[in-house]
Amino acid sequence: MRLNDKVALITGGGSGIGRAMAHTFADEGAKVVIAELDEASGQKVADEIGDNAAYVHCDTSSEEDVQASLAMAEKRFGGLNVVVNNAGVSQKDWDTTIAVNLSGVYYGCKYGAEKLAASGGGSVINLSSILGLVGIGAEDAYVAAKHGVVGLTKNFAIAFGQRGVRINCINPGWIETPMTATIREMEVMNTQVMTQTPMGRYGKPEEIAKAALFLASDDSSYMTGASLVVDGGWTAR
Ligand code: NAP
């Protein structure tokens, strides 16, 4: 078990990639706190996992909510070792997208890394995107926020490099989650994704969760400030 005795907080853990990470981490021995805006889905995932999981209401665009969630996680399971800044939105207005996808990750890094450093170290994992590496000529706020996440990851990695906290990000390609449901329903868009992805398919949330497991565990002990691209080859083109 690669996360035995570890406590992980996952924002947006009620759906898609976050839900898969919660299950994968719990299967590897972790205690998991799901910090999620939507109470029904967050509580449902906590219930699926059982005693080793808890739900806390959190709007990651609120600095106070993020701080309170981190404190709750530490108190509930007696420590904190991994913080996953996963919550995200797409196809929303500029202010909302920046507030959740960039400011939310910033709060999670700022308060999360500090808390991990104070308790002996740990791992912070930020969810960026392939759209944090290249543009697509649309979704300005999403692309800007996800590029910002790559920058924040590098900056915090440098700041915490000698304090025992590793900070990395994952850049997923097109993944089969509720976030991409509309794209998958639109024939033209769907065909475009499939043909532009060398592996010819969407990724599964569990395939991102496995990358997160690697970054959360000691298997990635010499990695910090990195972007781990998991995209079926999309950015290789
Ligand atoms: P998802 O299925 O829509 O899940 C996102 C979760 O975050 C939802 O449960 C959502 O709750 C929650 N959330 C939204 N705003 C929040 C907030 N302010 N505070 C707390 N929780 C909030 O999306 P996903 O595909 O799993 O995406 C997870 C992350 O991966 C995101 O950062 C996304 O940008 C990134 N990503 C996804 C893909 C992809 O193809 N799916 C590709 C690259 C990167 P509600 O349901 O209530 O909104």
Mutate-to-test residue for ligand 1 from 45, 89, 194, highest number of ligand atoms within 8 A of CB: 89
Q: Is the CB–ligand 1 distance for residue 14 below 6 Å?
A: yes
Residue 6 contacts residue 29 (beta carbons within 8 Å): yes
Closest Cα to residue 18, out of 77, 104, 96?
Answer: 104
CATH fold, domain 7-176+204-230, is Rossmann fold (3.40.50)
In angstroms, rounded to a whole number, what is the distance separating the alpha carbons of residues 198 and 38?
35
What is the Cα Rg of the chain in Å?
16
179 lines ligand 1 (CB under 6 A): yes
Q: What is the pTM of this model?
A: 0.99
Q: How far is the CA of 15 from the centre of ligand 1 (A)?
A: 7
Q: How far is CA 75 from CA 35, 39, 80, 194, 212, in A?
A: 14, 20, 9, 45, 24
d(CA 19, CA 220): 22
Residue 204 has what pLDDT?
A: 98
Q: Which residues, listed in sequence order, are joined to residue 171 by a DSSP beta bridge?
A: 229
Mean pLDDT by 10 residues, the chain (237 residues): 97 98 98 98 98 98 98 98 98 98 99 97 99 97 98 98 98 98 96 97 98 98 98 97
Cα 91 versus chain centre, distance: 18
Domain ranges in the chain are 7-176+204-230
Element (H, E) at 20: helix 16-27
Best of 17, 201, 227, 230 for a ligand 1 pocket test (most atoms within 8 Å of beta carbon): 17
CA distances from 113 to 62, 72, 101, 202 (A): 17, 15, 18, 32
Say what the pLDDT of residue 47 is.
98
Predicted confidence (pLDDT) per residue in 66-119, tens digit: 999 999 999 999 999 999 999 999 999 999 999 999 999 999 999 999 999 999
Ligand 1 atom closest to residue 65's alpha carbon, by position in its atom list: 19
Helices (H), 50-176: 63-77, 94-98, 104-118, 140-160
For residue range 55-64, list pLDDT tens digits in order.
999 999 999 9
Token reading at 88? 């995200």
The token pair at 66 is 């993020």
Does the beta carbon of 41 sit less than 6 angstroms from any atom of ligand 1? yes
